Every structure is written in C-alpha cells, then in structure tokens.
Amino acid sequence: MDDTTSPARTRAWADICAERGRQAAKWGGPHRHGAGDCSSPGVPLYVKLAVLGEEYGEVCRAALDWDPDQMRTELVQLAAVAVAILEGEPS
C-alpha cells in the first residue's frame, strides 16, 4: 500500500484540514494580536510562533498526563497551526 493513501494518513489530513477550518473561522477577524489566523499576513510571525509553541505545550501536557485521546487532539491542532503558517508564506 502506498503511504500517501493509507487510512491513517487520510484520517490525519482530514482532521488537520477540519481543524484549519475551525481556526480560520475562529480567528478570521481582527483580534488583539492582529487580524486573521496564522496564515494571515495580518498576524506577526512572532505571534504565529507563540501560538505554535502554545500548541506544542498542550501536546506535552497531554503526554505527561498520558491522555492519548487528548494528545491526538493537540497534535492535530499543532499540525494545523504549522500548516497555516506555511500557507501564509510569501510565494
């Protein structure tokens, strides 16, 4: 089986894409750190990296608590933030 079409990878990307949609909806407008989600040029890079770090901290907390379901949830959120940052890179 080709890894790009494995059920686990398909599920992971679907969850990450769904989370990106949630983040875009939640953070799409102006807020105290700029305007838009982590893909937006209206959010400074240092804020984007702070958000990424905060999500990583939540992954670590779930790992220390050994909560596999929460760890997966946090990993999806972490990946979605990383994807958002990459989406916002200049072409």
- How long is the chain? 91
Question: What confidence tens digit (pLDDT) does each residue in 13-39 have?
Answer: 999 999 999 999 999 999 999 999 999
Q: What is the pLDDT of residue 91?
A: 75
Confidence at residue 90, expressed as pLDDT on a 0 to 100 scale = 84
Span 30-78, pLDDT tens digits: 999 999 999 999 999 999 999 999 999 999 999 999 999 999 999 999 9
Structure confidence at residue 56 (pLDDT): 98
Is pLDDT above 70 for 4? Answer: no
Look at the chain and report how many structural domains it folds into. Answer: 1
- Domain with 42, as residue range(s), is 3-87
3 pLDDT tier (thresholds 50, 70, 90):
low
| 2, 3, 5, 58, 78 from 8: Cα distances, Å | 12, 9, 8, 22, 17
Specify the CATH number for the domain of residue 54. 1.10.287
Q: What is the pLDDT of residue 86?
A: 97
- The tally of CA atoms less than 13 A away on the side-chain side of residue 68 is 0
d(CA 70, CA 73): 5
